A and B are shown apart, each in its own frame.
Chain A
């Protein structure tokens, strides 16, 4: 369990580093689909991702 915990902490640190570096260019919406037309966010993550496909 300790190894898993350490592994997760390393993964989490890496993930956070990536997210911080990614800035606005990362879209964490994952499964979004076709909704952009409605909204005018301040500064959205990569747009038209919500135009999913």
Chain B
């Protein structure tokens, strides 16, 4: 068993424990992220043949599989881990994850086996979600129970790097395959290769994990017959444990999750979707910041062994609450100063009947918001335009006022006819120009085509009118690369990642220290995956809905700010420091 008060270098056994646990968890994240990174191709291969109703259901299930199902995996595997042992349980989780991933790679597509293909795919994705739910608690518990008392934060912080490393690994394998095979072959069949490669990663993980010993704390408990017969009842059926689980969620993991998602994924979303930065550039900025920030997981994990877990995690949450607004505003100025200037100068007003306006919460991306108010807000939110809302009489269709220009959201047939006539003239002018600009001709012809299609013509007219008005008001369609302050952008993003490392680096140790050995795996896994799967996973969708509702592209930040703020207050008041806890005291 790991001894107390040891101040010595890491032993070979301890290195092996950390390496085995971390490597396996990196591979699990690799498997999990592959799906998201290749989602467009997967959708084409498996979902494109479905009718709209079925597509919606499958989208919902896929969303649920990736996020909602994780806490159930936590419960299932947590219970197993507390009853039969950590080693075998998180061997099972990696087997399930690896095999599911491999099978995705060899699964026939919709064109080959019809609707069975997406059904099986969703089942496999569900298995991945369940496995992920079981992996983290096992890895963290396993490492923590091998660590010396005063190095638990440092040792478990290696696990905390795995999500970021797993993401990069998946991208490297995808691009490597794409480069070797070429785009066409990759889209056709080469996308399967990264999934199939997973079987090799699985073999390595299983080999290493099989050679490991059970956690000494658990082994001792089992030898003494003190393991829990009903970890679920003990964890969640007894108030003295349940209250700690609840506190761990609202006083720790909920805030940690929203800070994690804000720094790791929302920052990228904000750069590309809100600030219109070129995707390639945004990827590089985010990648550099993640790579600079990754070592800080270890730094803060180790620091927490000296000064405590709670101060670092709480400070991370507090800094998020206090600085997200100014930091994201600074990001706008650095990445798209023209947008920032336009937002300061231009007055945009949406006048709409409130009865027509929805809260555009759309986690699966399949809900259609089609009222004139919803369309107006969607278009403005998508263009990162800040606007104010004015109430219109009941039954009135929405209008958008940009400066002095008023645009009717409800486009009439006369509007379409006039726009089509203008577009046809543009085609004629483009063809008559000397020399002929083929791109201009193609663009003009595409415009005529869209205006001739009854399904697209109204949207085409509205988009064209709105774009023209916004352009006149100074809103840029894209971020001008010449005006992007790359250094500042990377610095800001790195700051956001540092906050991530502050809240995430020490948290594995803290969660382990909050619960007794007999119910540790169960009790720590659930708040972690509810926090990260639910609070964190719903961040992008919730943030967008708030932005669309309120007309300010920064207002989406209220979601992580409120949740991190709640965690700060609850954590400060009710969570006790745990770094000096003897995790075997109750064994």
Partner-B contacts on A (CB < 8 A): 8, 11-12, 14-16, 18-53
Q: Count A/B pairs, Cβ under 8 Å.
A: 190
Residue among B40, B58, B171, B295 with the highest chain A CB neighbour number at 10 A: B40
Contact for B365 among A20, A22, A51, CB less than 8 A? A51
Please give, as numbers and ranges, the residues of chain B lying within 8 Å of A41 by CB-CB distance. 272-273, 276, 279
Contact A48 B43 (CB under 8 A): yes
Contact B43 A22 (CB under 8 A): no
Please judge, given known A-B contacts A28-B167, A32-B540, whether A37 and B125 are in contact too, CB under 8 Å: no
**29 examples of A-B residue contacts, CB within 8 angstroms:** A11-B165, A18-B168, A19-B283, A24-B279, A25-B178, A27-B39, A28-B268, A30-B36, A31-B36, A31-B537, A32-B269, A33-B541, A37-B365, A38-B548, A42-B276, A42-B477, A43-B478, A45-B272, A45-B282, A45-B283, A49-B36, A50-B39, A51-B43, A51-B59, A52-B66, A53-B42, A53-B63, A53-B66, A53-B125
Contact A49 B37 (CB under 8 A): yes
Of the stretches B75-83, B323-331, B375-383, B411-419, the one at the interface is B375-383
Of the stretches B195-203, B285-293, B313-321, the one at the interface is B285-293
Contact B284 A16 (CB under 8 A): yes
Tell me, yes or no, whether B176 is within 8 Å of chain A by CB.
Answer: yes
Please give, as numbers and ranges, the residues of chain A lying within 8 Å of B125 by CB-CB distance. 53
Residue of A nearest to B170 (CB): A30
Tell me, yes or no, whether B215 is within 8 Å of chain A by CB.
Answer: no
Please give, as numbers and ranges, the residues of chain A lying within 8 Å of B171 by CB-CB distance. 15, 18-19, 22, 26, 28
Contact for B382 among A21, A27, A39, A43, CB less than 8 A? A39
Residue among B37, B42, B168 with the highest chain A CB neighbour number at 10 A: B37
In whole angstroms, how far apart are the Cα atoms of A26 and B272 in the complex? 13
Please give, as numbers and ranges, the residues of chain B lying within 8 Å of A12 by CB-CB distance. 291
Further contacts, 4 of them, CB under 8 A, given A19-B171, A30-B167, A45-B282 = A11-B168, A34-B63, A39-B381, A51-B365
Q: What's the minimum C-beta distance from B386 to chain A, rounded to whole angstroms?
A: 16
Interface of B is mostly: helix
Q: What's the minimum C-beta distance from A37 to chain B, rounded to whole angstroms?
A: 5
Please give, as numbers and ranges, the residues of chain A lying within 8 Å of B59 by CB-CB distance. 34, 51, 53
Partner-A contacts on B (CB < 8 A): 32-33, 35-40, 42-43, 46-47, 58-59, 62-63, 65-67, 121-122, 125, 165, 167-168, 171-172, 174-176, 178-179, 183, 264-265, 268-269, 272-273, 276-280, 282-284, 286-288, 291, 294-295, 360, 362-368, 378, 381-383, 477-479, 537, 540-541, 544, 548
Please judge, given known A-B contacts A16-B288, A51-B43, whether A34 and B365 are in contact too, CB under 8 Å: yes
Q: What's the minimum C-beta distance from B31 to chain A, rounded to whole angstroms?
A: 12
Contact A36 B479 (CB under 8 A): no
Q: What's the minimum C-beta distance from A26 to chain B, rounded to whole angstroms?
A: 6
Please give, as numbers and ranges, the residues of chain B lying within 8 Å of A28 by CB-CB distance. 37, 167, 171, 268, 283, 286-287
Contact B273 A27 (CB under 8 A): no
Contact A33 B283 (CB under 8 A): no
Please judge, given known A-B contacts A37-B362, A46-B40, whether A52 and B63 are in contact too, CB under 8 Å: yes
Residue of B nearest to A31 (CB): B36
Contact for A35 among B168, B179, B264, B541, CB less than 8 A? B541
Q: What's the minimum C-beta distance from A28 to chain B, rounded to whole angstroms?
A: 5
Please judge, given known A-B contacts A15-B171, A37-B362, whether A48 and B277 are in contact too, CB under 8 Å: no
Q: What's the minimum C-beta distance from B532 to chain A, rounded to whole angstroms?
A: 10
Residue among B39, B175, B278 with the highest chain A CB neighbour number at 10 A: B39
Contact B67 A33 (CB under 8 A): yes
Residue of A nearest to B168 (CB): A15
Please give, as numbers and ranges, the residues of chain B lying within 8 Å of A35 by CB-CB distance. 362-363, 365, 540-541, 544
Contact for A42 among B36, B66, B478, CB less than 8 A? B478
In whole angstroms, how far apart are the Cα atoms of A11 and B47 in the complex? 35
In whole angstroms, how far apart are the Cα atoms of A45 and B176 in the complex? 17
Contact A38 B362 (CB under 8 A): yes
In whole angstroms, how far apart are the Cα atoms of A6 and B294 in the complex? 14
Please give, as numbers and ranges, the residues of chain A lying within 8 Å of B278 by CB-CB distance. 24, 42-43
Please give, as numbers and ranges, the residues of chain A lying within 8 Å of B378 by CB-CB distance. 37-38
Please give, as numbers and ranges, the residues of chain A lying within 8 Å of B179 by CB-CB distance. 21
Please judge, given known A-B contacts A30-B37, A34-B365, whether A15 and B287 are in contact too, CB under 8 Å: yes
Contact B382 A16 (CB under 8 A): no
Please give, as numbers and ranges, the residues of chain B lying within 8 Å of A24 by CB-CB distance. 278-280
Please give, as numbers and ranges, the residues of chain B lying within 8 Å of A47 by CB-CB distance. 40
Please give, as numbers and ranges, the residues of chain A lying within 8 Å of B35 by CB-CB distance. 52-53
In whole angstroms, how far apart are the Cα atoms of A18 and B46 in the complex? 27
In whole angstroms, how far apart are the Cα atoms of A5 and B77 in the complex? 34
Contact for A23 among B42, B172, B280, CB less than 8 A? B280
Please give, as numbers and ranges, the residues of chain A lying within 8 Å of B40 by CB-CB distance. 27, 46-49, 51
* 9 smallest beta-carbon distances between A and B, as pairs: A34-B365, A53-B62, A42-B478, A34-B364, A42-B276, A23-B280, A48-B40, A39-B273, A24-B279
In whole angstroms, how far apart are the Cα atoms of A27 and B172 in the complex? 11
In whole angstroms, how far apart are the Cα atoms of A42 and B364 in the complex? 22
Please give, as numbers and ranges, the residues of chain A lying within 8 Å of B284 by CB-CB distance. 16, 19-20
Residue of A nearest to B268 (CB): A28
In whole angstroms, how far apart are the Cα atoms of A38 and B363 in the complex? 11
In whole angstroms, how far apart are the Cα atoms of A11 and B42 in the complex? 28
Please judge, given known A-B contacts A18-B175, A21-B175, A43-B278, whether A52 and B381 are in contact too, CB under 8 Å: no
